[in-house]
Structure 1
């Protein structure tokens, strides 16, 4: 009779993904927190607005898989810094349309180049094939969930 393999949480895929995500996220957080005083949810909202343009908080929540209260706090702080504008929707007065200001766009451009450098350093030592495989597998996993 074959004995079942011992379960090792250190090899559990969600555990490994969380460890990698948390370690890399905390390292990158030092950059945007030290330079702009931003929190993780704030830079995520900022990046979504830069990439997709005008969005509502609900749009961001759906794309970023963030809870609405976290988005609300991030939006408030970004608006205080004048990185984003909040405009009431003409079709639904309960909804605000969010957009980057010129200052917010400059912050995004700076952080985008820093993020690209960080990404390159993080993946240094991987072959192009390994990196492409890693990105493809992670995208597939994200879509599957």
Structure 2
């Protein structure tokens, strides 16, 4: 077993009765996630004028098609306010449209406009290039392991919280 994997498997250290953050997995996940998000956010903001929530909403709608704001909340794990603000900004830029919901007249669906779909098609290859650059120092097996373990961590967190999984 490599030293890196061995270090990941050990329990967080406690120094003088206090948790050592650098050995605490939830902290490390948060720091890593924030670093990756900041890197990518700069690129999307500078080049396309998009926030991370706006890009996530565009990506989900491009992949899954029109959906209600509630479905977008479940799919992205972002809160209602974040989805609403992202949608409003994208609607103002004519990248997103609100459509009537056929089954529920009180609700609406969010859908990409043609311009939004074109923007997605332009950004998606860049997003994949960022992912490739981030993972370039890892073997395919390590990448697969990270994806598997992140899925297991997410499932455990959902199970422990009592929340229902995102659909």
TM over 0.5: yes
User: Is 1:91 aligned to residue 103 of structure 2?
Assistant: yes
User: Is 1:46 aligned to residue 58 of structure 2?
Assistant: yes
User: Given the alignment, which residue of 116, 125, 129 partners 2:128?
Assistant: 116
Structure 1 residues not aligned, in runs of 5+? none
Work out the number of aligned pairs and report it: 141
Partner of 2:48: 36
Partner of 1:128: 140
Partner of 1:104: 116
TM-score normalised by L of structure 2: 0.80
Structure 2 residues not aligned, in runs of 5+? 1-12, 158-167
Alignment RMSD: 1.1
CA distance in 2, matches of 1:46, 1:124: 26
Post-superposition Cα deviations, 1:56-90, rounded to whole Å, max 9, x if no partner, equal 00000011111111111111110111111101213
Partner of 2:34: 22
Offset at 1:143? 2.1
CA distance in 1, matches of 2:75, 2:102: 23
CA distance in 1, matches of 2:60, 2:151: 17
Q: Secondary structure at the match of 1:32?
A: helix
User: Is 1:76 aligned to residue 76 of structure 2?
Assistant: no
